Amino acid sequence: ILLLHTCVKCVSLPEKVKIVEVGPRDGLQNEKTMVPTETKINLIDMLSASGLPVIEATSFVSPKWVPQMADQVEVMKGIDRKPGVSYPVLTPNLKGFQAAIKAGASEVAIFGAASELFSKKNINCSVDESLQRFDEVMKAAKEFGVPVRGYVSCVLGCPYEGKVAPEKVAHVAKRLYSMGCYEISLGDTIGVGTPGSMSKMLEAVSREVPVNALAVHCHDTYGQALANILVALQMGISVVDSSVAGLGGCPYAQGASGNVATEDVVYMLHGLGIQTGVDLSKLMDAGAFICRTLNRKTNSKVAQATCKL
C-alpha cells in the first residue's frame, strides 16, 4: 500500500499547466521605479514570444491611484498581440471596463477580498458591497462577450485580520463564479500560507467551485510559494499565476519578496514533466531585460544560478 500511496503523488499531477503571467501588471504595479511605456511594451512582447498563454497587460485603474499604470491605453494599443495568447486587464469599475474595451481589451479581471478588514482598508467597503459594484462590469462584459477572471485576495491570511477562514474564501469564490467569472484565482496575498493551510483552503473552495475553474496566485514572501503550488497541483489545480523575475515586492513587508518568479515555477513544472508551452530561456531573457531596466536584481533563483549543466 505504501508503494501505491507514493505513486498517488505522481499520478495526480496535471499533464498541462496554464501559466498566467502577471509581471507586467501585478509585478510592475508593486515596483517603485516608474517604467517607460516603451519598456512595458517591449517586456510584454518578449513574454509573448516565450510561449506564455496568458499575460496580464495592464490595469484600467485611475492613474491617481496607480501612476505606474497611467499609460494603460498606449500599452494596450502598442503591444504585438500574438495569436492564441490572452491579454487580460484589470477593470476596477464600469468606467475602467469601458476604457479597456475602447483600447481593444478582449478579457478583463475583477477582484474581491476574503477578508472584511482588508476590503475596508483597501477600497473602503465590505466584501459583499465590493462584489455588487462589479455587477455592472459583469453585465457589460456579458453584453460585449468578454470573459472575466476573478481574483480573491488574502485566501491564506490577512495582514489585518490574521487567519482567514477557508469557508469565507469559498463563499467569495462561489460568488465570483456565479456572477459569471470563468476562472477564480486564489491569492495568498501576504505569502503566509503553507502546504497545510493551502490544502485546507482548496478543500473548502473546491466544494463550491469546480477545480478546473480555479487558479493559485502564491506569494513567496516566506519562501513557501513553490511548495504551496505543488500541493495545489496535487489537488487538481492546473492554472498558476506568477511574475517574471518575481517582480513586485510585498506591499505589507517592506523589502520582502512578493510574487513567485515565473522562471522558478516553470523550472519546477518542467522538472515534473508537466507541459507549459513556455520556453524557459526566452522567459529568462525577458526577466533579464526588465531587471536591467529597473536596475534591480532578479527575484528568480533559477535566473540567479549560473550553474552550467
Partner 1 sequence: MGNVPTTVKHCLSYEQLIQDYPWLKRWLLEEKTNTGHEFPEFVKIVEVGPRDGLQNETEIVPTGVKIQLIDMLSGTGLPVIEATSFVSSKWVPQMADHTDVLRGIQRAPHVRYPVLTPNMQGFQDAVAAGATEVAVFGSASETFSKKNINCSIDESMLRFKEVINTAKERQIPVRGFIISIRIISCHHHQCLDSMGGFILLLIRADAPQLQISPYVSCALGCPHEGYIEPSKVSEVAKSLYELGCYEISLGDTIGVGTPGSMFKMLQSVMKEVPTNALAVHCHDTYGQALPNILTALQMGVCVVDSAVAGLGGCPYAQGSSGNVSTEDVLYMLHGMGIETGVNLAKVIEAGDFICNALHRETNSKVAKARGRTLGCVSVRENI
Question: Mapping DSSP to helix (H, G, I), strand (E, B) and coil, where does residue 247 land?
Answer: coil
Non-local CB neighbours of 95 within 8 Å, separated by 6+ positions: none
Options 42, 72, 86, 224; binder of partner 1; rule CB under 8 A: 224
**Binding residues among 35-64 for partner 1 as defined by CB under 8 A:** none
Question: Mapping DSSP to helix (H, G, I), strand (E, B) and coil, where does residue 168 land?
Answer: helix
User: Is 109 near partner 1 (CB under 8 A)?
Assistant: no
The distance of closest approach from Cβ of residue 272 to partner 1 in the complex, given in angstroms and rounded to an integer, is 4
Q: Which residue has the cell 482588508?
A: 118
Within 13 A of 92's CA, how many CA atoms are on the CB side? 11
Backbone φ and ψ for 58, nearest 5 degrees, come out as -165, -175
User: Is 279 near partner 1 (CB under 8 A)?
Assistant: no
User: Is 281 near partner 1 (CB under 8 A)?
Assistant: no
Spatial distance between the Cα atoms of 62 and 68, rounded to a whole number of angstroms: 10
- Beta bridge mates, 111: 151
Options 124, 281, 295, 306; binder of partner 1; rule CB under 8 A: 306
> Candidates 4-12, 23-31, 84-92, 138-146 — which segment interacts with partner 1 by CB under 8 A?
4-12
User: Is 287 near partner 1 (CB under 8 A)?
Assistant: no
Options 29, 72, 276, 300; binder of partner 1; rule CB under 8 A: 300
Options 102, 144, 272, 275; binder of partner 1; rule CB under 8 A: 272
CA distances, 83 to each of 34, 45, 53, 237, 286 (Å): 29, 12, 10, 25, 19
Q: 114: closest CA among 97, 102, 99, 131? A: 131
**Dihedral of CA 22/247/114/224: which sign?**
positive
**Binding residues among 117-176 for partner 1 as defined by CB under 8 A:** 157-163
The distance of closest approach from Cβ of residue 148 to partner 1 in the complex, given in angstroms and rounded to an integer, is 27
**Binding residues among 11-30 for partner 1 as defined by CB under 8 A:** 11-12
Q: Which is nearer to partner 1, 5 or 64 (CB)?
A: 5
User: Is 292 near partner 1 (CB under 8 A)?
Assistant: no
Q: H or E stretch including 55?
A: strand 54-55
What distance lies between CA 36 and its chain's CA centroid? Answer: 22
Q: Which is nearer to partner 1, 45 or 208 (CB)?
A: 208
Options 58, 221, 243, 262; binder of partner 1; rule CB under 8 A: 221
User: Is 235 near partner 1 (CB under 8 A)?
Assistant: yes
First-to-last C-alpha distance (Å) of the chain: 37
Which active-site residues does the annotation give? 250
Contact indicator for 47, 21 with CB cutoff of 8 Å: yes
The distance of closest approach from Cβ of residue 203 to partner 1 in the complex, given in angstroms and rounded to an integer, is 6
Number of residues that bind partner 1 (CB under 8 A): 66
Q: Which residues of this protein are in contact with partner 1, per CB under 8 A?
A: 2-12, 157-163, 190-197, 199, 203, 206, 220-224, 226-227, 229-231, 234-236, 250, 252-257, 261, 264, 267-268, 270-273, 300-302, 304-309
